Amino acid sequence: MARGRRRKLHLSKIYTFACGKPSVKDHDQIGQPGFSRVVFCNEPDHYEAKIRNYADNYVRTTKYTLASFLPKSLFEQFRRVANFFFLVTGILSFTDVAPYSAISAILPLTIVIAVTMVKEGVEDWHRKQQDIEVNNRNVKVHNGDGTFHDTEWRNLKVGDIVRVEKDQFFPADILLLSSSYEDGACYVETMNLDGETNLKLKQALEETSSLSEDSDFQDFKAVIRCEDPNAHLYTFVGTMELEEKHCSLNPPQLLLRDSKLRNTDYIYGAVIFTGHDTKVIQNSTDAPSKRSKVEKKMDKLIYFLFFVLFLISFIGSIIFGIITKDDLQNGRMKRWYLRPDDTTVFYDPKKAPIAAILHFLTAVMLYTYFIPISLYVSIEIVKVLQAIFINQDIHMYDEETDKPAHARTSNLNEELGQVDTILSDKTGTLTCNSMEFIKCSVAGTAYGRGITEVERAMAKRKGSPLANGVNSNDKAEDAKSGKSLVKGFNFKDERIMHGNWVNEPHADVIQGFLRLLAICHTAIPEVDEETGHVSYEAESPDEAAFVIAARELGFEFYKRTQTSISIHELDPLSGKKVERVYDLLNVLEFNSTRKRMSVIVRNQEGKLLLLCKGADSVMFERLDKNSLDFEEDTRNHVNQYADAGLRTLILAYRELDEGEYVEFNKKFIEAKSSVSADREALIDEVTERMERNLVLLGATAVEDKLQHGVPDCIDKLAQAGIKIWVLTGDKMETAINIGFACSLLRQGMKQIIISLETPDIKALEKVEDKDVVTKASKECVLQQITTGKTQVTGSSEAYALIIDGKSLAYALQDDVKNLFLELAIGCASVICCRSSPKQKALVTRMVKLGTGKTTLAIGDGANDVGMLQEADIGIGISGVEGMQAVMSSDVSIAQFQYLQRLLLVHGHWCYRRISTMICYFFYKNITFGFTLFLYEAHAAFSGQPAYNDWFMTFYNVFFTSLPPIALGVFDQDVSARFCLKFPLLYQEGVQNVLFNWRRILSWMFNGVYSAMIIFFFCIRALDSEAFNSAGKTVGREILGTTMYTCLIWVVNCQMALTINYFTLIQHIFIWGSIALWYLFLLAFGAMSPSISSTAYQLFVEALAPAPTFWFLILFVVISALVPFYAYSALQMRFYPMYHGMIQWLRLEGQTDDPEYCNMVRQRSIRPQTVGVSARRVARTHR
């Protein structure tokens, strides 16, 4: 089928060399282990392909299959010790040692397991639905006769030729053969892979780019030999054998599954990797499993209760064995009703040891009610509902980006309320990562008169009137005059704007500077056909700011082809814009090691130019020693820009001669074509030789503005007692000034700076070998850390620790890091500069393991992923650097300022709710279990339960299960407004005052006390007394049901006393649970005696008519709850906790009284040393 005329390339992103050139060098790894894949293009059923048995293209992301769901899910459930224990006791309930019926033991476990399995099944079904949708997508595949037909993704095989059309996803990892563009280029969006929305260019081989129509593939045959399936998204090596030619294959030819074809009508490609062999699936590793500290402590409590259970069972069994042995003495029977002279082995005095062992099993089964079987499933339900409330919080919704907060996991809700240290990225997290070109230095002259936010903060510190800022006024004037504000361009200087640069002393240097900005980049221009306006899609906000600045200053980049760049530039002689085309020969790419990028172009006069921009740390050393006319001035300007919080780049160039370039290009192509392990090193070696003897043009300075609300947010977090570390890749000067702007640093705060930029170390680096420099550097860092620790120890002043990346590498070594951590903990704020992604993760691990306290990492870029996964909680900012950080996070938010609400409000609430809920669960189960123990002791440890089997079964499942869930979801000790007004409330979580052993044991003691009140009051009130007017005495069924009714009232009223914030749902759940018990007693008692057994008509005939029953309930409930109420009232009145103090303020209407509020704030666990408030306090003490 004909495709019509093919489009000429007009939106290509550049690539680094002629991708289609064949190479036969360095294929030594092809065919070796790791590089053994062979693909027969257009022959998916080739006999050798069948032998290799490649994976099909069906992708399954579900945890279970239909066959494995039941066994695998059951295995997952019974991995929990508590569930396994209940399974064992359930099995034992079918034997004669069971104190209750088997079904009453199995039913609660079945319900709990079933609820959890249903939850797992529903979640997995959603994943299954997604798999079905993806696997059933259609793609056109070659029939073998020059035609294509639609087929589902799941049917694709390795070697198939496919045609993917615009805005479709790639169904597998595909080798690009040709496209709708003549040169075989296409544009790809990789948002599903790395979250980045900018388009990436892919390029077909020159040998296959002419395959432009369906019929061209009728006789197409090729053999591809390449690397085996792996998880490396950005690497690919292989060769293609096509008509006896060997062509090298590289990443630009590989189209990855789940990326999308954009700005290209169609492409043809050969399927290389399918299904689970594709790179995106290979990267789909499970996130590290994280559990909160509360949950880990809860596990210890469960083990503690197991110990108590086995201990009292053991003690009871010994007592039972002794009593049983003495039951029959000289023919006299002590417990005649057990007939010890004619009984089973369970009560046989002659076999007392065996009876004791059997009793131990009975007791263990009876006391299983000490273990809250429904605790885990209840907590899971509560956490899911809490996460929904976090997601629905309108105060954390960012209208500009249309992004709400999103709790990606509910496992760590309560951990949000216990954060001790925050480790934050800077760019895109504290700042907007929305760059504005604001200043520049050209030929030693500084241009740009805008005022940055950091400069305003610095002016404020010094009391300068400059704090108001020229820039703000300029913007206001522009708005009034109707001038449109250009995003990414905030430059003001009439000397070079509007073409006035031609009148400057160094006009030729300015021309070269602006020309470099317009040419040296990888941006894609998009021209609006109606207005002619040019916009750009760039790989980073910095790069977009540069091309926009060039456009606004008269050098408009508007067109790119595979081999050229076209710009409209101002001609200084005619004063008019002219079109100039530059042949694009090579691009030397930017990476974090090189810290620079270059392009080699040929201008219309035939001159070869290398244009380079990069960080000052690598650029100044590459300058030509004979062309340093304004190096010193430029250095000074760069330092001034860094002081103002700006990001700087140095711009330089050099002219090349033809012979030099030919030799370079040959070596460069060889290095790029290499498939050896040291390929990157070869490329760096070649490019290193070219980027020398550069001529300096100047420096750029772009501003990355602070996000809205960052200083106030940091102030609130500091008031909450949270320590904040900043880990950034920026220069030290920039990071320090951003620290001042966001109030992490303040005037008067002493700075401890650890750096290897000392004269001694620099001198050693020039003359000594690497080992000597390493040793000296480590000693230097160690000495600085020791000196800093001496300063901090015993001092009451606030210190800030600032360390650079080189020093950090030594500070993180095993024999130094503990000393470094001690110093850092003693400082009010810590800033780590020039940090690599790995260093960020290592610092996070050091703080987490070294302090043993909860750490939170927050970032927005791919370089923050390691840090987010290493921290106890990872927060992703959904910014402009893509979504990789969000996809690796536990919670995502749109802006840093929302962190205060996430932690101080939701974190505090979730911590308090979960902690109180767990304590209450243990309380109600100990109350229940201890009444069983007391009754069994009263019955000579005979293993007789106090209650009907079904009463015991439904205690945790129905009559006490809903109120704690309501508490876990709705309870509030103080409102959100007061959580933010009094951040010190957060310290309850930092200190863990609501879930420490003292509080847990006090709840357990309350349970023991309540059980004793219920048991002894019921026993004494009903023992040997006429229960009704007929003179009937109380039997076990009446005593047990009365105790059980008192128990239901006590534990539910205890919940009513515990709750701080009543809602209608809580009222329904608490009083409804009590009402449900009476309804159940009526309904159950009305059933056949074979079912209801001892409960048959019990309530109607015996309990309800008896006044004693009702008076006893009232008396027991009051007696059981008075101690808790009295203790709570005394504590609230005389020794209130933080939330109690705030409740008093609210009750007495003093929440707006500064004196009272300040008195409350002084109860903070640590003095505030950073933030706006600390700065204000420091100013008053001067």
Enzyme catalytic residues: 425
Look at residues 728, 986, 720, 735 and name the one whose alpha carbon lies nearest to residue 858. 728
Question: Smallest Cα–Cα separation from 518: which of 558, 490, 483?
Answer: 558
DSSP 406-466: EES-STTTGGGG-EEEEEE-STTTTEEEEEEEEEEEETTEEE-----HHHHHHHHHHT-GG
Distances (CA, A) of 224 to 252, 268, 505, 906: 15, 16, 59, 55
List phi, psi (to 5°) of 407: -80, 105
Q: Which token pair is 607? A: 């001159």
- Identify which of 888, 885, 962 has the alpha carbon closest to the alpha carbon of residue 920: 962
Distance in angstroms (rounded) separating the CA atoms of residues 54 and 66: 24
User: What is the C-alpha separation between 519 and 653, in angstroms, rounded?
Assistant: 12
Q: How many CB atoms lie within 10 A of CB 361?
A: 18
Question: 1084 Cβ partners below 8 Å, 6+ apart?
Answer: 950, 1091, 1092, 1095
Write phi, then psi, for 704 (nearest 5 degrees): -105, 100
- Identify the CA nearest to 540 among candidates 493, 589, 607, 606: 589
User: Do strands 854-859 and 419-424 pair parallel, antiparallel, or not at all (unpaired)?
Assistant: parallel
Task: Yes or no: say if 982 and 720 are a contact pair by the CB < 8 Å rule.
Answer: no
CA of 870: how far to CAs of 264, 365, 423, in Å? 40, 42, 11
Count of C-beta atoms within a 10 Å radius of residue 654: 20
Instruction: Please list the alpha-helical segments (H only) found in 1059-1171.
Output: 1064-1085, 1089-1092, 1098, 1107-1134, 1138-1147, 1154-1161
Q: SS3 breakdown of the chain: % helix, strand, coil, rounded to 5?
A: 50, 15, 35
Beta strands in 488-554 (DSSP E): 524-527, 534-537
DSSP 217-237: GSS--EEEEEPPS-S-TT---
For residues 971 and 1061, is the Cβ–Cβ distance under 8 A? yes
679-690 core/surface letters (b: 16 or more CB in 10 A; e: else)? beebbeebbeeb
199-203, strands of its sheet edge to edge = 199-203, 185-189, 260-262
CA dihedral 807, 812, 815, 816 (to 10 degrees): 50
Burial of 505 (0-12, 13-18, 19+ CB in 10 A): exposed
d(CA 974, CA 1058): 14
End-to-end CA distance of the chain: 84
Task: Give just the sign of the alpha carbon dihedral 352, 354, 356, 359.
Answer: negative
What burial class does residue 5 get, using C-beta atoms within 10 Å of its C-beta: 0-12 exposed, 13-18 middle, 19+ buried? exposed
> What are the structure tokens assigned to 557, written together?
């980049």
Contacts 24+ apart (CB under 8 A), 307-314: 308/370, 309/364, 309/367, 309/368, 309/370, 309/371, 309/929, 310/364, 312/363, 312/367, 312/933, 313/360, 313/363, 313/364, 313/367, 314/360
Q: Which positions ≥6 away from 1117 have C-beta within 8 Å?
A: 1046, 1049, 1050, 1053
